Amino acid sequence: MSNLWKKETLCVQGGYAPKVGEPRISPIVQSTTYKYEDPDHLAEIFDLKASGHMYSRISNPTISALEEKISLLEKGVGALATASGQSATLISILNICSSGDHILSTSTLYGGTFTLFSSSLKKFGIHVTFVDPNLSVEEILTYGTENTKAIFAETISNPSLNILDFEKFSKIAKTLDVPFIVDNTFPTPILCNPFDHGANIVIHSATKYIDGHGCSLGGIVVDGGNFDWSNGKFPQLTEPDPSYHGISYVKEFKELAYITKARVHLLRDLGTTLSPFNGFLLNLGLDTLSVRMERHSENALALATFLSSHPKVGWVNYPNLPGGPSYGLSKKYLPLGGSGILTFGIKGGRVTAKEFIKNLTLAALVVHLGDVRTSVIHPASTTHRQLSDEELEASGVSSDLIRVSVGIEHIEDLINDFDKALNKLK
Ligand SMILES: *Cc1c(COP(=O)(O)O)cnc(C)c1O
C-alpha cells in the first residue's frame, strides 16, 4: 500500500503503522535490549534465522521506522541508519572493500568525505582515485583497475554544486561491473531519486535536510537492491561469513544482501549506531521534508537571482539558475527544485568574503547547512582549510567562494540582509 503513496504522504505516514491502541507517533524506544523467553528463539535471531530486535547497537524499533520511511522515499529495498553522515559513507565502502581494493570517486566532494577517502581509507589500504567529473567516459575508465570496487559521487557536490551526470557515471559503473554509490544529501529523496538514474547504493547525511532543524547528527545507507553481487568481485557477500556460522549473504538474503551485511556485520562490529532519541528527531524532521524542500528551493533561486544582478557580486552558482554551468544537468535531474544551497563570490576575493560575513545579521556563520535558518560559510578558511590549493581547485572551491544555505525565512528579509551586508563593503 505505502509503496503507492506519493512522497508528501510517505513523509508523514510512511514507515510506521500503529495498531489499535498503540501510540499514534512512532515512540522513542529508549531501551538497549529486548526481552525473550526461549533461549532457542534468541539463538535463531543471533543466527539470522529469525527476525527480531535483540540489542540496540544492531536494531531498534524507533530507528527501524526511520529506516523504513527513508527507504520508501528513496525507492530502495532497505536502509540502515548510522550515527552520522560520515559513518554512512564509511559503512557504504567498508561493506564491500577491504585492504588492496580501489574506488573511483569524483574530485568534487564534501571536505569530510575527501579526507576520509584520502587519509583514513588509505590507512586501511583502500585506495581512492579522484577524477575530474568533466572527463569523458573513456578517460575516466582508464583509471579503473581490476581491484576497483565502487564508483562514488555526490548528486549535488558540496560546496562546488556540480550536478552529477548520472548517465555518464552509471555507464562507467556498469562497464566496470561495480556498484554506483551516490551521496544524495543535498537534493534529498524529495528532489532526486538516484536509483531512478542507475545508482545502486544511496547515502545521506541526515544531519542536514532530513533533520532540517540543526538538532541531530545522523546518516543513512539505502540499498537499491539492483546490483548483482555474484560477479566474483564481492566475496564478502557471496562467500560464507565465519562470524555467522558460514552464512552467505547473497544466498540467504537475495536483494537484501548488502544492507543486511552492513547491519549485522558492520554495525555489530563498528558500533556506529544512531541513538533512538536522535532517530526520533530525524523522523520528526522527515514529516515536513517535502514542504521544506519546496521553500528552500524557491528561496534559493530568488536569492541567487538577486545576487547575480548585484554590482558587488562577481559570480553566482545555483543549480537552477538559467545560464549557470550545471543548468542542463539540473533541468534533467532536478526538475522539482535545486535545493537550498547556492555559492557566490564577491569582487575582492578572500578578504572581502570574510568582511561580508561579518556584516550579515539574519544569516549566521555556522559549520552546517540544510536547516530552516539561513547560514553562510567560507569553505577555504573553514571546512576545506586542510586542502592544498591544488586540492581546493580540484574540488571546485575558489578562495572567494561563500556557501549559503538558504533557509525558509521570508525571502524579502533575506534579500535585505544580503543587500545591506554587500552595500556596507568598501
Ligand atoms: C555533511 C555532509 C556529510 C557528512 O555528514 P555528517 O552528518 O556531518 O557526518 C557527507 N556528505 C555531504 C554531502 C555532507 O554535506
> What CATH number does residue 378 fall under?
3.90.1150.10
Domain membership flag for residue 6: no
Whether 233 and 178 have beta carbons less than 8 Å apart is answered as yes
Alpha carbon nearest to ligand 1 atom 7, residue:
85
Regarding whether 360 and 321 lie in a shared domain, the answer is: yes
Q: 217 CA to middle of ligand 1, Å? A: 9
Domain boundary among 232, 254, 286: 286
Q: Is there a domain that residue 2 lies in?
A: no
State the pLDDT at residue 1: 52
263, 316: one domain: no
Q: 10-residue block means of pLDDT along the chain (426 residues)?
A: 86 97 97 96 90 96 98 98 98 98 96 95 98 97 98 96 97 98 98 98 98 98 98 97 92 97 97 98 98 98 98 96 91 97 92 93 95 94 79 80 97 98 94
- Ligand 1 neighbours by CB, cut-off 6 Å: 84-86, 110, 112-113, 154, 158, 183, 185, 205, 207-208, 217, 219
Check: CB of residue 421 under 8 Å from CB of residue 360: yes
Q: Are residues 276 and 296 in the same domain?
A: no
Whether residue 297 is found in the same domain as residue 280: no
Ligand 1 atom showing the smallest separation from residue 207 Cα: 7
Domain that holds residue 336: 290-423
Decide if 35 is inside a domain: yes
Report whether 237 contacts 96 (CB < 8 A). Answer: yes
Cα(205) to centroid(ligand 1), Å: 5
User: Of 82, 89, 158, which is best to mutate to test ligand 1, by the most ligand atoms within 8 angstroms of its C-beta?
Assistant: 158
Q: Which of 252, 280, 396 is nearest to 260 (CA)?
A: 252
178 phi/psi in degrees, rounded to 5: -130, 160
Instruction: Judge if 124 and 262 occupy the same domain.
Output: yes
> Dihedral through CA 386, CA 304, CA 306, CA 324, nearest 10?
100
Rounded to whole angstroms, the Cα distance separating 225 from 248 reads 16
Residues 294 and 410 in one domain: yes
Structural contact between residues 115 and 90, judged by C-beta atoms closer than 8 angstroms: no
Rounded Cα gap, residues 320 and 329, in angstroms = 9
Q: How many domains does the chain have?
A: 2
Within a domain: 11: no
Q: Cα angle vertex 194, ends 192, 195, to 5°?
A: 125
Chain position carrying cell 586540492: 391
* Å from CA of 208 to ligand 1 middle: 7
Final residue in a domain of this structure, among 258, 286, 314: 286
Domain contains 239: yes
Instruction: State whether 44 and 68 are in the same domain.
Output: yes
Answer yes or no: is 353 within a domain. Answer: yes
CATH at residue 42:
3.40.640.10
Amino acid present at 205? S
Same-domain check for residues 247 and 170: yes
Ligand 1 centroid to 211 CA: how many Å?
12
> In ligand 1, which atom is closest to the CA atom of 217?
7
- 86 CA closest ligand 1 atom index: 9
- The Å distance, Cα 174 to ligand 1 centre, comes to 26
328 and 399 in a common domain: yes
Q: Are residues 212 and 336 in the same domain?
A: no
CA 368–ligand 1 middle distance (angstroms) = 9
Report CA 399 to chain centroid distance, whole Å: 25
Ligand 1 atom closest to the CA of 218, numbered from 1: 7
219 CA to middle of ligand 1, Å?
Answer: 8
CB atoms < 10 A from the CB of 43, how many?
Answer: 12
Same-domain pairing of 212 and 308: no
Residues in a beta bridge with 163: 156
Which atom in ligand 1 lies closest to the alpha carbon of residue 87?
A: 9
pLDDT for the residue numbered 317? 96
Q: Which of 286, 302, 331 is the last residue of a domain?
A: 286
CA-closest residue to ligand 1 atom 6: 85
The answer as to whether 52 is a domain residue is yes
In a domain, 10, yes or no: no
d(CA 131, CA 59): 37
* Ligand 1 mean position, distance from CA 113 (Å): 8
What DSSP assignment string belongs to 403-424? EEE--SS-HHHHHHHHHHHHHT
158 and 187 co-located in one domain: yes
